[in-house]
Amino acid sequence: MNKNIIDFNKRESVRKNYDLIAEQYGKDFGTYIEDLDVYEEFEKHLLEHAKILDLGAGTGRTYSYFSKKGYQYIGLDFSEEMKNNAYKIHGEFPYIVDDMINLKKYFANDSLDAVFAAYSLFHLPNDDLKNLFCDVYNVLKPNGIFLFTYQIGSGEEMVDEPYLKEIGKNVLYMHYQSNKDIKNLLSLFSFEELFRKEKIETSDMAINANSIVTVFMLVKKIK
């Protein structure tokens, strides 16, 4: 089968999954903020009213945090139901429903101060992840910042969705990275590392079939 179709099917498994679990995800995580130290590091590099794009915005917990602080927040997620539940919880706010691989359709080069992607890029196949880093690099202004997470491991697999019990066996595409993979990926672009934190996942709801370590990484675009 054509590789583009295979990669599309992997991403589709993710979109369908989040459409199914959106309501419960919103109840559990819609306003739940953790890892405040990461948010604080991120904000150290933001100017007042900075424009932040949240990739894989889900049910809007990041919106609730950043909008209160006066930043211009835009969410992007390809699950219509995650957006609907975000609106139920927070009211309407700027939210693009599309696959993040289409990011550059919406943003000009050098137009964003910051991109935030928590617990979302581990659902992208390899080539898509590489292209996404390139797109994020291009849409960021010089000195713009990019916060992303990855889960330590290697390769890809279909994992169980914890919310879906019996029908949720092997339904969700995950892709793990080693620290070296990420270092190599970053080396393709002029990104400078600002901050890195490793976190052991302990929640039953963590999607962590072959990895329990999440890495938060903050980098800056340098020209």
Ligand X SMILES: C[S@@+](CC[C@H](N)C(=O)[O-])C[C@H]1O[C@@H](n2cnc3c(N)ncnc32)[C@H](O)[C@@H]1O
> Tokens 């080693």 correspond to what residue?
178
Q: Name 119's Cβ contacts closer than 8 Å, sequence gap at least 6.
A: 56, 58, 149, 214
221 lies in the site for ligand X, by CB under 6 A: no
- Is residue 209 a contact partner of residue 175, using CB atoms and an 8 Å limit? no
Which parts of 188-217 interact with ligand X (CB under 6 A)?
none
Residue that is written with structure tokens 């290697």 in the block: 154
Q: Which stretch binds ligand X (CB under 6 A): 50-58, 63-71, 105-113, 185-193?
A: 50-58
Residue 26 interacting with ligand X (CB under 6 A): no
Question: Measured between alpha carbons, how far is 201 from 128 in angstroms, rounded to an integer?
Answer: 25
* The length of the chain, given as a count of residues: 223
Cα 162 to the center of its chain, rounded Å: 19
Exposed, middle or buried, 155 (CB in 10 Å: 0-12/13-18/19+)? exposed
* Binder of ligand X out of 10, 18, 74, 139 (CB under 6 A): 18
Q: Which of 21, 52, 56, 176 binds ligand X (CB under 6 A)?
A: 56
**Which of 41, 77, 113, 135 touches ligand X (CB under 6 A)?**
77
Stretch that binds ligand X, among 44-52, 98-106, 140-148, 178-186 (CB under 6 A): 98-106
Closest by CA to 118, choosing from 211, 38, 188, 209, is 38
- CB-nearer residue toward ligand X: 163 or 189: 163
Asked if residue 100 binds ligand X (CB under 6 A), the reply is: yes
Q: Does 119 bind ligand X (CB under 6 A)?
A: yes
In the set 8, 24, 29, 196, which binds ligand X (CB under 6 A)?
29
The binding site for ligand X (CB under 6 A) comprises 11, 14-15, 18, 29, 56-58, 61, 77-79, 82, 99-101, 118-120, 123-124
